[in-house]
Amino acid sequence: MQVVLNYLKQNQARAVAELCELLRFPSVSAQPQHKPDLRACAQWLVKHCRQIGLEAKLCPTAGHPIVLAKTPRSKGQRRRPHYMVYGHYDVQPPEPLDLWHTPPFEPRIEGRSVYARGSTDNKGQFFAHLKAVEAYLQTGTPLPCDLTFVLEGEEEVGSKSLSHFLKTHRRELACDAVVISDTGMPGLKYPALTYALRGIIAFEITLHGPERDLHSGVFGGAVENPAMALARLLAGVRDDRGRITIPGFYDGVAPLSRFERAQAARYPLKEAQLKKLLGAPELFGERGFTATEQRSARPTFEINGLTSGYQGEGSKTIVPAWARAKITCRLVPDQSPEQVRRAVLAHLKKICPPTVRLEIEAGHGAEAYQVSPTGPLAQASLRALKKAFGAEPILMREGGSIPIVNQFKKILGADSLLLGLGLPDDNAHSPNEKFHLDCFAGGQRMSAYLWQELNPGLD
Ligand code: BES
Ligand code: ZN
């Protein structure tokens, strides 16, 4: 093991330089003009995986390609434990560009962090696992298990192709667990095992009013303003105690156990620090729950985008023809996405006034995910985290979603170990995204230890 750790230490500068190469690809899955960049990024990864000693190939899909890379299998051996390492090389759109201090796809190192879109979400995080396996392969240290890396290019847009790929490669991908670093840790001294993720439903609602934009002086007052109607419709969905008022919304929500509330209370980022980090005038959340619980273990209804009328410079006196909102709800165990979707839509239909026409477009959906925080897989992960970061790890729930983990369970029967390396101030999905180089190095050590801890006594 020491030889692996030494290798990692001695090769850190090169690992950072390679990560910067990977960060140069503008692999924005949501924007069709970047399709060639996703392909180029996937090709770079295949080449890199081969260079470090993996057997790698590019798997074309109906969308963006999947990179599949395996540790060389020794022939005629007994069946060895097999783990999948999952990551995504696609990134969120970098806009608004003017808020970046330096261009999003020109990685810049400042202090102990690398700044670039995709640095923490998710290129830096999965690259740590590749560097760990490189250390085993390049030092000739036997791995106690087989590993398959699955790196997809559509996580930020719903993982459609991977979902299909899992079904068609069920046998090849059958594994004992999936290891994922695509979540967070509260601080460098707080390595963390995430044992739950929130689920999600997405939809768009449009209220249609007059058939065209109207002069607001000539007609305003006698016709419904769709933007006003939408504001009223949405405002009533949450009360001033932070509870969602939609009948049936909380059906199935599993109450928090005493163990879970105790774990949440150990989360080190407290309300005052959170307020400062977010730059919000005050925090707001559901009464009766701490901020940590509110943002990881309670369901929400959020407006992600709100559009209507004239958005250009100066004023334009109109009654707009329509108003639209992009909405997502985060879900927790054991809410059913379909049931919540039905409850929300029925409610909106019921309260929509007859002066506008309601159009609803359904988007993606996924249930929440939960894995035992005390089982043998979790115990092995906690030991690896502790050794790698030299601090006692915490157990946490995360508010974000990785919908594909449900498919790993359903299709492959495998649990996911969520070993996040992102810090709360990493700015995932925001301008000036970064990744801490100590998280990168710690993540490499964690990955190296993990294969041993999952398989004590094997090599
Ligand atoms: N890496 C995130 C998920 C995440 C981040 C989980 C932080 C927990 C903590 C992932 O790339 C992501 O952004 N997922 C989307 C999923 C959505 C598009 C279905 C999300 O959570 O919004
Ligand atoms: Zn993301």
pLDDT in tens, 59-113: 999 999 999 999 999 776 678 999 999 999 999 999 999 999 999 999 999 999 9
Cα–Cα distance between 11 and 111 in angstroms, integer? 19
Q: pLDDT of 427-455, one tens digit each?
A: 999 999 999 999 999 999 999 999 999 99
Average pLDDT over residues 237-265: 96
Last residue of a domain, one of 340, 365, 390: 365
Residue for token pair 């004023």? 315
Do 91 and 211 lie in one domain? The reply is no
Do 212 and 350 lie in one domain? The reply is yes
Q: pLDDT of 283-337, one tens digit each?
A: 999 999 999 999 999 999 999 999 999 999 999 999 999 999 999 999 999 999 9
Cα–Cα distance between 429 and 444 in angstroms, integer? 23
Q: Does residue 313 belong to any structural domain of this protein?
A: yes
**Which residue type is seen at 48?**
H
What's the structural domain count of the chain?
Answer: 2
Do 158 and 218 lie in one domain? The reply is no
Amino acid 457: pLDDT? 79
Cβ neighbors of 344 (< 8 A, separation 6 or more) are: 201, 203, 246, 249, 301, 329
Closest atom of ligand 1 to CA, residue 88:
11
Closest atom of ligand 1 to CA, residue 328:
22
Residue 120's nearest CA partner among 19, 41, 5 is 19
Residue 305: burial class (beta carbons within 10 Å; 0-12, 13-18, 19+): exposed
Rg of the chain (C-alpha set): 24
Amino acid 74: pLDDT? 78
Dist. CA 229 → ligand 2 center (Å): 32
Amino acid 78: pLDDT? 73
Dist. CA 401 → ligand 2 center (Å): 9
Q: Does residue 290 belong to any structural domain of this protein?
A: no
Do 179 and 220 lie in one domain? The reply is no
Nearest residue (CA) to ligand 1, atom 16:
401
Counting every residue, how long is the chain? 459
Please provide residue 440's backbone torsions phi and psi, each rounded to the nearest 5 degrees: -60, -50
Q: Does residue 232 belong to any structural domain of this protein?
A: yes
Give residue 28's Cα distance to chain centre. Answer: 15
Do 183 and 204 lie in one domain? The reply is no
Amino acid 77: pLDDT? 67
Cα–Cα distance between 63 and 152 in angstroms, integer? 10
For a pocket test of ligand 1, which of 181, 195, 327, 401 has the largest count of ligand atoms closer than 8 A to its C-beta?
401
Do 190 and 320 lie in one domain? The reply is no
pTM of the shown model? 0.94
Q: Which residues line ligand 1 (CB under 6 A)?
A: 121-122, 155-156, 158, 182-184, 197, 200, 364, 398, 400-403
Q: pLDDT of 363-417, one tens digit each?
A: 999 999 999 999 999 999 999 999 999 999 999 999 999 999 999 999 999 999 9
Dist. CA 182 → ligand 1 center (Å): 8
**Which residue type is seen at 272?**
A
Q: Does residue 447 belong to any structural domain of this protein?
A: yes
Q: Does residue 347 belong to any structural domain of this protein?
A: yes
Closest atom of ligand 1 to CA, residue 202:
19
Q: pLDDT of 146-192, one tens digit each?
A: 999 999 999 999 899 999 999 999 999 999 999 999 999 999 999 99
Q: Buried (b) or exposed (e) across 394-433, using 16+ Cβ within 10 A? A: bbbbbbbbbbbbbbbeebbebbbbbbbbbbbebbbeebbb
Cα–Cα distance between 309 and 118 in angstroms, integer? 33
Last residue of a domain, one of 347, 365, 383: 365
Dist. CA 88 → ligand 1 center (Å): 11
Do 207 and 317 lie in one domain? The reply is yes
The CATH number of the domain where 382 resides is what? 3.40.630.10
For residue 343, the enclosing domain spans 200-253+299-365
Nearest residue (CA) to ligand 1, atom 20:
401
Dist. CA 238 → ligand 2 center (Å): 26
Do 323 and 415 lie in one domain? The reply is no
Provide the pLDDT confidence category of residue 459 given band limits of 50, 70 and 90: low
CA angle 234, 235, 237 (to 5 degrees): 65
Dist. CA 47 → ligand 2 center (Å): 24
Helix H or strand E segment including 306 = strand 300-308
User: CB 248: neighbour CB atoms within 10 A?
Assistant: 13
Residue 342 confidence (pLDDT) above 80: yes
Do 213 and 140 lie in one domain? The reply is no
Cα–Cα distance between 244 and 237 in angstroms, integer? 6
Name 365's bridge partners: 201
By the CB criterion, residues less than 5 angstroms from ion ligand 2 are: 121
Closest atom of ligand 1 to CA, residue 194:
8
